[in-house]
Copies of this chain bind each other. A is one copy, B any other.
Amino acid sequence: MTGARSWWGWGLEEAAYEGEALAGIGGMLAHRFEVEASSPVDPVDPTGVALPAPRVQLPEALADLASRDAVDRLRHGHGASFREVVRALHGDVPRPPDLVVRPRHRDDVARILDWCSDAGVVCVPWGGGTSVVGGVTPPSEPSISLDLERLDAVLEIDQVSGHAHIEGGAMGPAIEARLADVGLTFRHFPQSWEFSTLGGWIATRAGGHFATGPTHIDDLVAAIGAETPTGRWASRRLPGSGAGPSPDRWLLGSEGTLGVITDAWVRVQPRPTSRVQATARFVTFDQGLDAVRALTRDGLLPANCRLLDPVEATLAGAAPPDCTHTLLLLGFEAPERDLTAETNHALELIRGQGGEVVDGPTARRGDATGTATGGAGAWREAFLRGPYLRDAVARLGGIAETFETACTWDRAHELVATLRETAQRAATEVCGGAVVSVRTTHAYPDGVAPYLTVIAPGPRTTGRPGPAVGRAQAAAWDEVKVAVSEVIDAASATITHHHAVGRDHRTWYDRQRPDPFARALRAARSELDPAGILNPGVLTDAAVGPRSNA
């Protein structure tokens, strides 16, 4: 990663849409929604934003780890959801952390947690700050944002077992670069990959961009080390174990509430050298879903198996603007091996569901990570640019956000249709119009993960540029989000397949999880963190207060 990180929006400042590109997006929105083109809002100068003075200070022994810098605090005062970004753009960051603290070593983490517990100061663990669910947003209590960027080392590589021991603050590109030196890859590529960390992936159960097989971080972790307020938690690295409930599975998805993930042993692998890709099209999205189901039910494990409705295919540049077909981007990857049998089996199933193969199959050999071509290449590029487009739409007064879920196949067709309609209706009610696109991100033998994008012209606002505008945009999205979340809940689908719970999904998460589990989780949390300092409000409510030294 080079260049300066945006303090308010996604990724790198230099990668944001500006000038003509930004105006072009504004023109497209105006054309599509038949509204007047908006002038883009410029982000406020962060050095001019008035912030309350820090309410806490670290003891002298730790003081040099802390930053009181206002822009630093602003940047750590919000995550990367549309609702937070559109407000930050206007300098509206209601609860910045009092301090940003950057430990140099895991022992620092233990000392910081100790101090937080004694002082009753909230600790919000921060990886890359890419949470889209309010997972890194400080609550109202005095707080620190614990930025793990200095714990970024690849500590050890065990080439025999295919394991790497990596610190929690290491980001995607650094991990892959180090592993590539020895011919290996972690092969975990969430959309946020450039800007997010191993610890963050584990804490939020991140999903990689591969559609099937071991793509979730859950399956790629062999051991986890974490600091809790009451001691270090470190599991043995093992290929498998049946010794009680898996300790790692307790930390996976714990979202900073049980401990701060300082390091992990992860499963790495030889770089794949055989690849096949193909694109098929279907008259309807439902036919495409049936084809994906057939593939996964027959035990095929395509690396890419992404179904794009016509809107998504067009938005992503994978199809021309007049496309009316659903596209399926299909790819297999493996170490040097002939993939013809799997590919032919897959294409046969696709044709059996009415699909037409329009590109490929094309086989390639050699290490060629990230060199997808054709529809898959265009889609991948758009995928990585998506969050920047979202920021551009935010600046243009519009709405651009995504949501996702997963459900079993028996309800997939109906849920996708209902979600599409609900998002369209809710966004149109609030904004006067909307474009809703659907894709699938992950496929299983027993179900699928649909992912929807909503772009809308934004609510009518009459005021001058300023925080009220951003709040109105955020509120407009919130109305859409509530509507679709209720549909997800009513279908007994999951409120999140790979975006995590954070603070934003609590309403529906609380309905989804078994009640005794919620009580057990709270009890576990209280045991490990008696002062309630670890990311309160995430997953469960927690009362913060200095621990008694009884």
Interface set of A (CB-CB < 8 Å, partner B)? 158, 160-163, 204-207, 216, 222, 226, 228, 230-247, 249-255, 258-259, 267, 269-270, 293, 297-299, 334-335, 337-342, 345, 406-410, 442, 444-449, 492-501, 505, 509, 512-517, 519-528, 539
Partner of A410, one of B158, B206, B249: B158
Q: Does A239 lie within 8 Å of B523, measured CB to CB?
A: no
Q: Does A243 lie within 8 Å of B341, measured CB to CB?
A: no
B residues less than 8 Å from A505 (CB atoms)? 243
Q: For residue A515, which residue of chain B has the nearest CB?
A: B231
B residues less than 8 Å from A524 (CB atoms)? 520-521, 523-524
B residues less than 8 Å from A247 (CB atoms)? 513-514, 517
Partner of A245, one of B239, B253, B444: B253
A406 to B223, CA, bound (A): 14
Partner of A160, one of B233, B341, B410, B520: B410
A521 to B410, CA, bound (A): 35
Q: Does A244 lie within 8 Å of B299, measured CB to CB?
A: no
* Cβ of A190 to closest chain B Cβ, rounded Å: 11
B residues less than 8 Å from A448 (CB atoms)? 239
Give the one of A158, A204, A514 with max B CB within 10 A: A514
26 contacts between A and B (CB under 8 A): A158-B408, A161-B409, A161-B447, A228-B516, A230-B519, A231-B515, A231-B516, A232-B516, A233-B517, A236-B492, A236-B494, A238-B406, A239-B408, A239-B446, A240-B406, A242-B253, A243-B500, A243-B512, A244-B509, A245-B252, A247-B514, A247-B517, A269-B297, A340-B341, A520-B525, A520-B527
Q: Does B410 lie within 8 Å of A241, measured CB to CB?
A: no
A251 to B245, CA, bound (A): 7
A445 to B222, CA, bound (A): 11
B residues less than 8 Å from A500 (CB atoms)? 242-243
Partner of A446, one of B246, B267, B340, B408: B267
* Cβ of A403 to closest chain B Cβ, rounded Å: 13
Q: Does B238 lie within 8 Å of A494, measured CB to CB?
A: yes
- Given A231-B515, A341-B339, A517-B247, are A408 and B242 also a contact pair (CB < 8 Å)? no
A286 to B250, CA, bound (A): 35
Q: Does B497 lie within 8 Å of A240, measured CB to CB?
A: yes
Q: For residue A540, which residue of chain B has the nearest CB?
A: B244
Partner of A497, one of B216, B242, B251, B498: B242
* Cβ of A419 to closest chain B Cβ, rounded Å: 16
Partner of A526, one of B243, B255, B298, B523: B523
- Given A513-B244, A516-B233, are A238 and B501 also a contact pair (CB < 8 Å)? no
B residues less than 8 Å from A494 (CB atoms)? 236, 238, 240-243
* Cβ of A205 to closest chain B Cβ, rounded Å: 4
B residues less than 8 Å from A449 (CB atoms)? 239-240
Given contacts A161-B446, A238-B447, 10 further A-B contacts (CB under 8 A): A158-B410, A216-B240, A233-B515, A239-B409, A243-B494, A244-B501, A269-B297, A340-B341, A519-B528, A520-B525
* Cβ of A480 to closest chain B Cβ, rounded Å: 20
Q: For residue A239, which residue of chain B has the nearest CB?
A: B447
Q: For residue A520, which residue of chain B has the nearest CB?
A: B524
Partner of A514, one of B161, B233, B241, B242: B233
B residues less than 8 Å from A515 (CB atoms)? 231, 233
- Given A239-B408, A269-B297, A448-B239, are A245 and B207 also a contact pair (CB < 8 Å)? no
B residues less than 8 Å from A519 (CB atoms)? 230, 527-528
Q: For residue A443, which residue of chain B has the nearest CB?
A: B239
Q: Does A243 lie within 8 Å of B495, measured CB to CB?
A: yes
* Cβ of A338 to closest chain B Cβ, rounded Å: 4
Closest 8 CB pairs of A and B: A239-B447, A523-B527, A520-B524, A239-B444, A249-B249, A241-B494, A161-B408, A205-B242
A242 to B246, CA, bound (A): 16
Q: Does A447 lie within 8 Å of B240, measured CB to CB?
A: yes
A493 to B239, CA, bound (A): 9
Q: Does A514 lie within 8 Å of B235, measured CB to CB?
A: yes
* Cβ of A54 to closest chain B Cβ, rounded Å: 30
* Cβ of A493 to closest chain B Cβ, rounded Å: 7
* Cβ of A486 to closest chain B Cβ, rounded Å: 15
Q: Does B528 lie within 8 Å of A446, measured CB to CB?
A: no
* Cβ of A317 to closest chain B Cβ, rounded Å: 28
Q: Does B528 lie within 8 Å of A520, measured CB to CB?
A: yes
* Cβ of A525 to closest chain B Cβ, rounded Å: 8
Q: For residue A499, which residue of chain B has the nearest CB?
A: B242
Q: Does A445 lie within 8 Å of B267, measured CB to CB?
A: yes
- Given A238-B447, A448-B239, A524-B520, are A244 and B341 also a contact pair (CB < 8 Å)? no
B residues less than 8 Å from A345 (CB atoms)? 337
A216 to B238, CA, bound (A): 15
